[in-house]
Structure 1
Amino acid sequence: MTRKNALVVRGGWEGHQPVRATELFLPFLRENGYAVRIEESTEVYADADAMAGTDLVVQCVTMSQIEAEQLTGLRAAVVAGTGFTGWHGGIADSFRASSDYLHLVGGQFATHPGKEPCERQGGQEDNYLPHTVDITELGREHPITAGIEDFELHTEQYWVLHDDLIDVLATTTHPTQPWHPWHRPVTCPAVWTRRWGAGRVVVTTPGHSLDVLEHPAVRTIIERGMLWATRTASAS
């Protein structure tokens, strides 16, 4: 087995438990032959030598900010073949002020609709809704999601703004409700891939809490996404 180098970058909003969340996946990476480096900030992205030797970046940094030279380094690494993946706000709600980051990942968290106002009690659970993640036709054939059936979750349901350069492996649909301002159901990507230069990007939007990350379908998608995104021989 050829040894691969994985870089786990974590931080940002503590509500997504970036340390505990990423720790869930370290055994999988090591069991699959990755040497794992962990960084608690995005400063490493500006280190060209470190990034050139990285085959996969697993990012869990919700919101926060990124310096221009760090983002330039990340984008250059992906273009050169470094894989880039993550879940939920750690990748789809990172660096809100950076349009260039959005351009890299192809989709951005906009909101997560909540319960009926009279049922809300002021906690995170106000935004937990039962919903379905539907595997697309492409997803049924893709190595990340092949063999996974549509599945139900009760957690945050991401509403994502996105472009057309993503390959959508799974979707989720937001229904209309009397207390919502939209007038028809809205289907958003829930899992997607993106080719960027020689690199591969994988975004999985479920993953708000540890129990969601441990859901068999969610965990399988994230783990397969890590393998698929990893630098290929042709990108070396």
Structure 2
Amino acid sequence: MTQKRALVVRGGWEGHEPVKATELFLPFLRDNGYVVRVEESTDVYADTAEMAGTDLVVQCVTMSEITSEQLAGLSSAVVAGTGFTGWHGGIADSFRACADYLHLVGGQFASHPGKEPCERRGEAADNFLPHTIAFTEAGREHPVTAGLADFELDTEQYWVLHDDLIDVLATTTHPARPWQPWHRPVTSPAVWTRRWGAGRIVVTTPGHSVDVLENPTVRTIIERGMLWATRTASAS
């Protein structure tokens, strides 16, 4: 059996601890037979030969910028069958100024609503709210999320702008609180997949910090997502 090749690309905003976060998953990839290459920038996306031989890209790059050549290399690889996955801002808040990247991924972080203003202390926890991640009917059957139960988190709750080409496996609902400007609850996708050409994409929005990634359900979703997104024989 031919070994699978995984490319882990990390960088961007240090607040999401891209090195510690990705290191958490390297043993899983290796234990599942992947040859893993780790890159500290998106320059590798412009390497046509490297991308053509990559079966899975795991990206953890919050904000930052991407060149047109790098984006073209990533997009072409996905269209040809390379899987693409990641979590939180490392995939859903990457390259905000690049419309073609947003088109590839299908959803973009817009906000993480915070606590009541009188409770805020000027720290990251100001944006931590207790919330539920609820699986959809599709999610209860999909290989990435089948058999998992709805669960609670107390961390950033992503509000995501998205299109309807994504397949939503789990959602989270933002209530209409008195200090917020919206007037009714808003439900956002929390986990989704997307087919793009011959490629598969999996986005998991929980994952602000390593402790969230270590949540058993979050970790299971991310690890299953890696396996599911990986290039299939039909895309080779």
Q: Fold conserved (TM > 0.5)?
A: yes
1:83 maps to 2:83:
yes
Give 1:36 deviation, angstroms. Answer: 0.1
1:107 corresponding residue in structure 2: 107
Counterpart in the other structure of 1:93: 93
Cα distance in 2, alignment partners of residues 41 and 68 from structure 1: 14
Partner of 1:217: 217
- Structure 1: 5+ residue runs without aligned partners? none
- 1:98-133 superposed Cα distances (whole Å, 9 cap, x missing partner): 000000000000000000000000000000000000
Partner of 1:153: 153
Kindly state the Cα deviation for residue 57 of structure 1 after the two structures are TM-superposed: 0.1
TM-score (norm 2): 1.00
Distance 2:98 2:122 in 1: 29
Displacement after TM superposition at 1:71 (Å): 0.1
Partner Cα separation in structure 2 for residue 124 and residue 52 of structure 1 = 39
| Residues in 2 aligned to 1:94 and 1:6: alpha-carbon distance in whole angstroms | 19
Alignment of 1:135-150 (within 5 A): 135-150=135-150
CA RMSD of aligned residues (A): 0.4
What's the CA shift for 1:2?
A: 3.5
- Between the aligned partners of 1:81 and 1:199, the Cα distance in structure 2 is 4
| Cα distance in 2, alignment partners of residues 134 and 4 from structure 1 | 32
What is the letter of the counterpart of residue 212 of structure 1? V
AA of the residue aligned to 1:216:
P
For the pair 1:29 / 2:29, whether they are aligned, the reply is: yes
Contact 1:2 1:33 in 2 (8 A): no
Aligned to 1:66: 66
Q: Deviations over 1:185-233 (max 9, x none)?
A: 0000000000000000000000000000000000000000000000000
- Conserved 8 A contact 1:128-1:155: yes
Residue type of the alignment partner of 1:176:
A
- The percent identity for this pair of structures is 83
For 1:234 and 1:178, the matched residues in 2 are separated by 51
The Cα of 1:97 is off from its aligned counterpart by: 0.1
Question: CA–CA distance in 2 between the matches of 1:225 and 1:3?
Answer: 18
Partner of 1:191: 191
Q: How many residues align structurally?
A: 236
Instruction: Report the Cα distance in structure 1 between the residues aligned to 2:110 and 2:180, rounded to whole angstroms.
Output: 15
Structure-2 separation of matches of 1:84 and 1:138: 20
Q: Secondary structure at the match of 2:118?
A: helix
Unaligned stretches of 5+ residues in structure 2: none
Question: Post-superposition, which runs of at least 4 consecutive aligned residues in structure 1 deviate over 4 A?
Answer: none
Report what 1:181 is aligned to. 181
Tell me, in whole angstroms, the C-alpha distance in 1 between the residues paired with 2:2 and 2:62.
Answer: 32
Q: Which residue of 1 aligns with 2:120?
A: 120
> How far apart in 1 are the matches of 2:183 and 2:73?
42
